[in-house]
Amino acid sequence: MSSARYSDPLWTTRAWRGLHVSADVGPAHVVLASSSEARQAMLRRAGVSFVYDPAAIDEDAVRLQAEAAGMSVAATALALAEAKARTVAARQADALVLGADQMLSCRGRIFTKPDDLDAAEATLRALRGRTHRLISAAVIVRGKAMVWSRVETARLTMRSFSDAFLHQYLAETAAGALSSVGVYRVEGAGIQLFSDIDGDHSTILGLPLLPLLAFFRSEGILPQ
């Protein structure tokens, strides 16, 4: 199997059997059940050959079922990741299908991606000056069997930024702000929101990458 380059090339995709394939990878053994650009970038830079086939599931329904069952935030994130992986594995039986999910919790409240800038501002006001948790879960399903899973947590503390900074930040990052549950991307201007970060960088970006790479090595996807 060929591996992706470790530099930061301009990546292109093409349609291949209904999937999206990195232009310089060979036959895929790994299928990412997500269209997340951040997760794709992490896998590519780590040298993992894969295709992506986004899962369409009712995430709100899964969350409600988890809440009714009294599941923890970590267990809920894992359930969402598993649901995504199983959905895609049903049509990719011979692949290692990777499903992932990330949840944000602060003072007992679960946050979801904002629908508009007003909701984004409300989220940032709620997180300002406080520590929140980002829980990243990943599951791999082969056929009908879940063969690997992992949940990792990062703790991030937002500084007590001014309203003026808040408004400027939202004005300058409007597009990206709505694509993240916490209304930030730490790899960009969102880093200015924080006074302290405790956790692995890849966990914050949405994937427990190091344990995942260890699994791929054990499966022969990556060299030992």
Q: Which residues pair with 142 in a beta bridge?
A: 96, 145
Question: What b-and-e string marks burial along 123-159, b requiring 16 or more CB atoms within 10 Å of the CB?
Answer: bbeebbeeebbbbbbbbbbbeeebebbbbbbbebebe
Is residue 140 assigned to a domain? yes
Is residue 224 assigned to a domain? no
Confidence of residue 133 (pLDDT cuts 50, 70, 90): very high
Is residue 5 assigned to a domain? no
Is residue 1 assigned to a domain? no
**What is the tens place of the pLDDT at every residue in 2-24?**
322 222 222 223 333 344 444 34
Torsion of CA 165, 167, 172, 173, to 10 degrees: 100
Lowest mean pLDDT among 8-12, 57-61, 158-162: 8-12
Tell me which of 58, 60, 94, 101 is the catalytic residue.
Answer: 101
pLDDT at 177: 77
Is residue 128 assigned to a domain? yes
172: domain CATH number is 3.90.950.10
Is residue 178 assigned to a domain? yes
- Length of the chain, in residues: 224
CA distance 203 to 153: 7
Full domain range(s) for residue 136: 13-218
pLDDT at 178: 83
User: What is the number of domains present in the chain?
Assistant: 1
Is residue 65 assigned to a domain? yes
Is residue 100 assigned to a domain? yes
Q: What's the whole-number mean pLDDT along residues 127-138?
A: 98
Concerning whether 53 is annotated as a catalytic residue, the answer is: no
